[in-house]
Amino acid sequence: MAEVGLPVEDSLSTGRDRRRRRDSRGSRTSLRERLAWLRPPEFDENGAMSIWDHLREIRYRLVISVLAIVVLFIIAFVFYQPIVEAIMHPYQVAAAAVQASNPDAEIQVVNSGVASPMLLALKSAGLAAVIAACPVWIYQLWAFIVPGLLKNERKIALRFLLSAIPLFLIGVAVGYITLPKAFEFMLGFTVAEAGVANLQDLNEFLSLEMRMLLVFGVSFLLPVLLVFLNMLGLLKSYQLRKARVGAIFGCFVFAAVATPSGDPFSMLALSLPMMVMYLVAEFICRRRDVAALKKQVREGFLTPEQAYATLNGKLDAEDVDD
């Protein structure tokens, strides 16, 4: 009986091993299927992508951006104290300037609430993470746009990426530099003679500074966007020239609305660079349009008169074809 039972036990163990291997393969397959959404969708043989795949790619790009921000947030949260000191520096400079001109003024930042210190650390780490992760989320925006572009347009989009990152950081730096004057202007209205103490809630102050820095950073992307649209042929230099007055007025209106502090110094500090960058973008777009029209004249597609009229918006592509 023992000789007969041995192969039966072996066969049972062999069957169990096969089921385990089959179950493990199934679990590995299901795990790959569960994590498939972490990979960007692929194009079909015609280079096309369905609407659902586009939505999946948007989700993928957002997930990568959020993961980068979360990782940097964890690192920044560990070292939140020097970040808070850097964030508080503009306010301290402004408060010292106000107290130097008005020694009786009592200006102080306070934490109200038991959870306020923790919220301060979380907000400080979040602000640092969003700024530090700008190469990642700007790249994800670029990577989402690139598949729908032609080969020469992809090179243009790469230039957009390489210029957008430093401009965003420059905008944040300009916003940080202007903060002391903005705070000094607002704190300068403290009426010390009437016994009024200026007690600032630290979390409200931090929210104000976060909005200021992000508004400046995003606003400095204006010339990159305009030149990028010109490179794609969607925007011409004559259109920028015709809209110049309205654009300059719009820069001032946008700066007045977008700067949460509401002081004239911040408004000018934001509107003037935007106005200059608009003019620089107009100049670059005109240079590009002139170069493209000269090439068409050399190749015989346009006469010099037609090229000049096209440059000034008096002749479009349909007129040239006719």
- Tell me what pLDDT residue 318 has: 47
Residue 200 lies in a domain: yes
Residue 46 lies in a domain: no
The last residue of a domain, from among 220, 240, 275: 220
- Tell me what pLDDT residue 148 has: 63
Same domain? For 95 and 227 the reply is no
Residue 24 lies in a domain: no
Phi and psi of 150, rounded to 5°? -75, 175
Same domain? For 98 and 126 the reply is yes
Same domain? For 121 and 175 the reply is yes
User: In terms of pTM, does the model score above 0.85?
Assistant: no
Residue 17 lies in a domain: no
Q: Which pLDDT band, with edges at 50, 70 and 90, does 57 fall under? A: confident
Same domain? For 207 and 277 the reply is no
- Tell me what pLDDT residue 245 has: 93
The last residue of a domain, from among 196, 220, 244: 220
- Tell me what pLDDT residue 67 has: 94
152 membership: H or E segment, kind and range: helix 151-187
The last residue of a domain, from among 189, 220, 251: 220
Same domain? For 155 and 208 the reply is yes
Same domain? For 271 and 147 the reply is no
Residue 59 lies in a domain: yes
Same domain? For 206 and 63 the reply is yes
Residue 36 lies in a domain: no
Same domain? For 65 and 194 the reply is yes
What's the pLDDT tens digit per position in 107-165? 888 877 788 888 888 989 999 999 999 999 888 888 777 766 666 667 777 777 788 88
- Tell me what pLDDT residue 143 has: 79
Containing domain of residue 244, as a range? 222-322
pLDDT higher than 80, residue 272: yes
Residue 1 lies in a domain: no
Same domain? For 286 and 153 the reply is no
- Tell me what pLDDT residue 240 has: 92
Phi and psi of 53, rounded to 5°? -65, -35
Name the E strands within 192-308.
197-201
45: helix, strand or coil: coil
Going by C-beta distance under 8 Å and a sequence separation of 6 or more, which residues neighbour residue 18?
none
Please list the residues that pair with 106 across neighbouring strands. Answer: 197
- Residue 183 tokens, joined: 């705070």
Same domain? For 135 and 261 the reply is no
Alpha-carbon gap, residue 157 to 29, rounded angstroms: 37
Choose among 311, 252, 260: nearest CA to 276.
252
Residue 37 lies in a domain: no
* Number of domains into which the chain is organized: 2
pLDDT higher than 90, residue 200: no
Going by C-beta distance under 8 Å and a sequence separation of 6 or more, which residues neighbour residue 169?
131, 134, 217
pLDDT higher than 50, residue 2: no
Phi and psi of 106, rounded to 5°? -105, 110
What's the pLDDT tens digit per position in 59-118? 888 999 999 999 999 999 999 999 989 988 998 898 888 888 877 777 888 877 788 888
Same domain? For 304 and 244 the reply is yes
- Tell me what pLDDT residue 244 has: 92
Same domain? For 192 and 266 the reply is no
Angle, in degrees to the nearest 10, between helices 202-219 and 244-258:
160
